[in-house]
Amino acid sequence: MPDHNHPTPDMQTSAPHTNVRNVVASLFISLDGVTEAPEQWQFEYFDADMEAGMIAQMEAEDTVILGRRTYEIWSAFYPTNTELAYAHHVNRVPKYVVSNSLDSVSWGSWDNVSLLNGNLAEEIARLKQQPGKNISIPGSATLVRSMLQDDLIDELVLLVHPVIVGRGTRLFDDWSGLKRMQLVHSTETRSGVMILSYRPQQRG
């Protein structure tokens, strides 16, 4: 089963209404900042609150952006999955894969995945100007970190699990510079997961 590092509860509705779409990144994360392989430590915390949140998330987005590693895992699993609600969702929405090493991308029999290998800031600006709902980045920690540093993310949702993993890729590995964030929403699930939604603090 792939890395199901995508958000839950109603975190993708906190962004203020504008005429452009919002880019919302979301990750499962441990107390020590690990985002790698959440399938090894996350599932026991998945409860009715998270299920309800996943439904809200899917209703709030209609485009998905993936990093290369997440794409390679998900594209081998979701196109043929007919049981999971998220599989039905991610299969049918447009998907964009950010990679400079891939020559092409595919998603089973679905013809709705494209490769982004040019100027990412320009590509994101183009997508945000198109009509639609939120643009979601589920998981893809390396991509999220890079886009956050480049001010390309409107909202960051962290689902903080009450577990210390001890090893694995951390969201802010190799981070440089100070970036202030504003907490815009927080909630706790019945299983003890804190869901924290942040927006970059405006400069000036």
pLDDT tens across 168-203, in order? 999 998 888 899 999 999 999 999 999 999 999 976
- What distance in Å separates the CA atoms of residue 171 and residue 107, rounded to the nearest whole number? 27
Query: 124's torsion region: left (phi>0), alpha (psi -120 to 50) or beta?
Result: alpha
CATH of segment(s) 11-200: 3.40.430.10
* Domain spans of the chain, in order of start: 11-200
135: β partners: 23, 63
Return the percentage of the chain with pLDDT > 90, whole number. 77
Tokens standing for residue 78: 């979701």
Q: What global pTM score does this model have?
A: 0.88
